[in-house]
Amino acid sequence: MDITNCQHPNHDSQRIKYVCVDPQCSIPKKIGCADCFLDDHISHVRKTTTQFKDFVNESIQQINAVEFQQVTNSPQQDLEKEMDGELDNCIECIKSKFNSIKGDLKGQIDNDMIKLQDNCAQFQQNMNNELEPFKSTIKNDLHVLNQTELNSLVKFYQEASKIHKHYNKAAEQIQEEKQKIKLKKQKYLAKMRSIMQILLKDFNELMTSKNVQFDDSGDSETPQKQIMSPNKMINLVETARSSRRFPMSQIQKKQLLTAVTKKLE
């Protein structure tokens, strides 16, 4: 029996010549002679057996010629490197800002301390200069002092409480200035803590699942991010499976999304 000829009893053993390639065709038998196609595929898209074989062979060669570039680093490794770089930049930026605040604080405190030390030294010098003559004079017997020296001691006696009050007040002012410097330092420290709390709050909000979306974010994505996008990976897998008539179910999609997300964590 010649299988190249039609076996239909009413088709006069015509040569099998056509293949139906119509996407809408639901007839199980896709190959036949001219009469077969008049009976079952009259309005369908057809190709001769030679055209069909040539097209299939050419398509196989074209698809087989597709080359896949060897991957030396996995997308996960590329993403980790990018994340490490971004994290390092972020940390350096934060350190730079806090060092700027610390430098500003140190500069102000240093200037305030220099002024305070100068004032303290000046008060000490003024007090020494004022008391030194009386220290020398009072060592002598009063009856050997001349009138000027005795009058000076008498005047000191009369104004001693006022002088004491004056320098005591100066010492209190020095302490107040020291306290102001301390409060300024505490204020800057509170400012740094406040900035850190804001940064941590914003970070926590950005990293919640409600705010972090894994959807495609347009042309601005880096190649690494495009590769590692879970939804893109799912679409790629689903496309490949659909082309082979094995589409993914919703459960399989969820399982794949969970697996990809874990890889990115």
pLDDT of 101-139, one tens digit each? Answer: 888 888 888 898 999 999 999 999 999 999 999 998 898
- What's the domain range around 47? 18-64
Q: Let me know whether 197 and 136 are in one domain.
A: yes
Q: Residue 33, Cβ neighbours under 10 Å: how many? A: 20
Q: Which residues of the chain have pLDDT under 70?
A: 1-2, 70-78, 209-265
pLDDT of residue 224: 43
**Is residue 5 a part of any domain in this protein?**
no
Q: How far apart are the C-alpha atoms of 152 and 140, rounded to whole Å? A: 14
**Is residue 240 a part of any domain in this protein?**
yes
**Is residue 152 a part of any domain in this protein?**
yes
pTM: 0.41
Q: Is 32 helix (H, G, I), strand (E, B) or coil?
A: strand
Residues 49 and 16 sit within 8 Å (Cβ to Cβ): yes
Q: Let me know whether 227 and 258 are in one domain.
A: yes
Amino acid at 256: L
pLDDT of residue 261: 55
pLDDT of residue 127: 92
Closest CA to 17 of 47, 41, 40: 47
The dihedrals phi and psi of 12, each to the nearest 5 degrees, come to 55, 35
Q: Let me know whether 128 and 160 are in one domain.
A: yes
**Is residue 218 a part of any domain in this protein?**
no
**Is residue 199 a part of any domain in this protein?**
yes
**Is residue 239 a part of any domain in this protein?**
yes
How many structural domains does the chain have? 3
Q: Let me know whether 111 and 186 are in one domain.
A: yes
Amino acid at 48: T
Residues 37 and 17 sit within 8 Å (Cβ to Cβ): no
Please classify residue 18 by burial: count the beta carbons closer than 10 Å to its beta carbon, then call 0-12 exposed, 13-18 middle and 19+ buried.
buried
**Is residue 197 a part of any domain in this protein?**
yes
Given 206, 235, 252, which residue is the final one in a domain? Answer: 206
Residues 112 and 177 sit within 8 Å (Cβ to Cβ): yes
Closest CA to 149 of 171, 170, 164, 134: 134
